[in-house]
Amino acid sequence: RIANQLVLESAATFYFLKKNNCAVFHLTEKLLLTMLTSFTIAVIALGAVNAAPASNPDFLVSIDNGTYTRSVSYEGHSVLRCDVRNISQDVFESISATYDIMGSSSHASIDIHTTSDADVAAMHALIGAQHCVVHVADLESAVRAFETDLDHSRQRASSARNRRQVDDWFAAYHTYPEIIQWYTDIADDFPLITKLVPSIGRSTEGRDMPALHIVGTASGAKKRVYFQCQIHAREWISGATCMYVVNYLANNYGVSDEVTRLLNEVELIVVPFVNPDGYAYTWSGERLWRKSRNVNVGSSCMGTDLNRNYNEHWGEGGSSTNPCSDTYMGSKAESAVEVQVTTDYFKLNAPIYGGIDWHSYSQLILRPWGWTQTNAPDEALLKQVGDLMADSAERVHGFKYTSQKSISLYPTTGTANDWFYGEEASKENKGVRAYGFTIELRDTGRYGFELPANEIIPQGQEMIPAAIDFMQFTTANPLKFTPSA
């Protein structure tokens, strides 16, 4: 409490000097800002500010006969939306390494999860109160509204006549075991065009990580495209959208000329769960959990941000060395077993012509690079297919997706889409450099991670043409890889 108050008072003093245009502020702005940032981060590291919400034995939300439970409360938490165009790179790096940035926009605003008045005051001091608005005043209420919708939607889905029908299954979100069974059913229903690999490896907690291959029956070699889903635990729409795409392709092979031609030329590999442990935990403990669930030696904080753990400019910024951070990059590149499993499978199926890592939220189509402002060697083609996907998605329901380089948001290193396209993967991809993309799905922050279940189907519908465009374009316009000297 004392540390929280110190940060609150320090931030308030800093903001007062800045707001009132005091001469002493201008003389010492950089020093004051550096001190405040360092002090705030030091306190956070000690768990005094922005501490990760802890399970509370006296707090429990349970719905759907205990299928979903939550023991972590977000009481007193809020979300600020801040314009960060005018802050220094060092300050932004400090914020992103210590606070939970939930979403971003193409206009350089970010949604910051705050857990106390001290957090809010610190953001006002570091960014400027005039650049921040309260986007979600009561995060606990927002999560509870989502849980009410989850309960009702799952009741409707469970009473549906046929859980394999699109309108029934995609009327609700589903648990890890239910999704595993769904992929098993799809493989059983379409044995001529699908192959389910029940486990390409196991997660930290021993959960199977399956892969589904879907490809047409025409003879001849096929070019491969790779999708991976649910790398961040709380982004439930990611896994639901991957299922929707798989369902559409499987059901329309032999029916739609476009799908039939596509799958007769292209094999799609889908890894439904990069982070099965984290996903399971969002159903059993903490709805807004992001990371994996590995134990970090020397820390009481669990998990690694798997999308900062790839061996592509790992640890060069845009991530954190603090195990308590939501962007903790791990102890070394590919320290996370889940990253090892998925990169090994990617290499095993070389050559891969394109890869998409599915995320939410912000409605963005992101291409390399995340670690540098320098254009990727194939920027023109990367931009072309990114723009194509954004346009195709928008034409379905009018929802705008922005196509841009990853670093246009903020620096990130050790990410999956940079790895797909980058040096290490390409060296083992049989002369092909894979197009590497991140797709941030709906929405732009009205619901955020608590996207209602009635948006699963329209979200899937607008990603169908985008996914097809990606598969067609990347295999028709392959990228060559020449190793650097």
| Interval 306-333: pLDDT, tens | 999 999 999 998 899 999 999 999 999 9
List, in order, residues 6 or more apart from 13 with CB less than 8 Å away. none
- Tell me how far apart the alpha carbons of residues 280 and 89 are, in angstroms, rounded to a whole number: 35
Report pLDDT for 408. 87
Question: How much is the pLDDT for 194?
Answer: 98
Q: Distance of CA 470 to CAs 199, 273, 378, 418, 475, Å?
A: 26, 21, 15, 17, 8
- Look-up: residue for tokens 């005091």? 22
d(CA 104, CA 47): 25
Q: What is the pLDDT of residue 46?
A: 47
User: What does the pLDDT look like over 74-121, one tens digit per residue?
Assistant: 999 999 999 998 888 888 888 988 899 999 876 689 999 999 999 999
Q: Which DSSP category does 376 fall into?
A: P
pLDDT of residue 4: 47
- Under DSSP, the state recorded for 101 is E
Predicted confidence (pLDDT) at residue 409 exceeds the cutoff of 90? no
Closest Cα partner for 324 from 49, 93, 36, 125? 49
Q: Are 125 and 14 contacting, i.e. CB atoms less than 8 angstroms apart?
A: yes
338-368 tens-digit pLDDT: 999 999 999 999 999 999 999 999 999 999 9
Residue 421 makes CB contacts below 8 A (sequence gap 6+) with 355, 368, 376, 382, 433, 434, 435, 436
User: Given this model, what pLDDT does residue 55 score?
Assistant: 72
3-state secondary structure 400-446: CCEEEEHHHCCCCCCCHHHHHHCHHHHHCCCCEECEEEEEEECCCCC
Instruction: Please give the single-letter amino acid code of residue 406.
Output: S
Catalytic (active site) residue 440 = yes
Predicted confidence (pLDDT) at residue 225 exceeds the cutoff of 70:
yes
- CA within 13 Å, CB half, 277: 20
Cα 140-71-323 angle, rounded to 5 deg: 90
The token pair that represents 269 in the structure block: 């590999």
Burial class from Cβ neighbours inside 10 Å (0-12, 13-18, 19+) for residue 274 reads buried
26: pLDDT strictly greater than 70: no
Q: Is the pTM here over 0.85, yes or no?
A: yes
Which whole number is the average pLDDT over 247-270? Answer: 98
> How far apart are alpha carbons 57 and 281 in whole angstroms?
16
User: Residue 375 corresponds to which tokens in the numbers above?
Assistant: 């254009």
Catalytic residue among 265, 440, 450, 462: 440
Which residues have a Cβ under 8 Å from the Cβ of 391 and sit 6 or more positions away? Answer: none
Look at residue 48 and tell me whether its pLDDT is greater than 50.
Answer: no
- 180: tokens are 């595993």
CA-wise closest residue to 232 among 131, 285, 306: 306
pLDDT over 70 (residue 167): yes
Distance CA(14)–CA(7), nearest Å, equals 10
CA–CA dist 63, 447 (Å, integer): 20
Looking up tokens 């001091």 gives: 125
Q: Is 321 helix (H, G, I), strand (E, B) or coil?
A: coil
Residues 217-221: contacts with CB within 8 Å, 24+ apart? 217/192, 217/193, 217/264, 218/264, 218/265
Query: For residues 177 and 185, is the Cβ–Cβ distance under 8 A?
Result: no
pLDDT > 70: what percent of the chain?
A: 87
Question: What's the mean pLDDT when you consider all of the chain?
Answer: 90
Dist. CA 275–CA 406, nearest whole Å: 22
d(CA 164, CA 91): 49
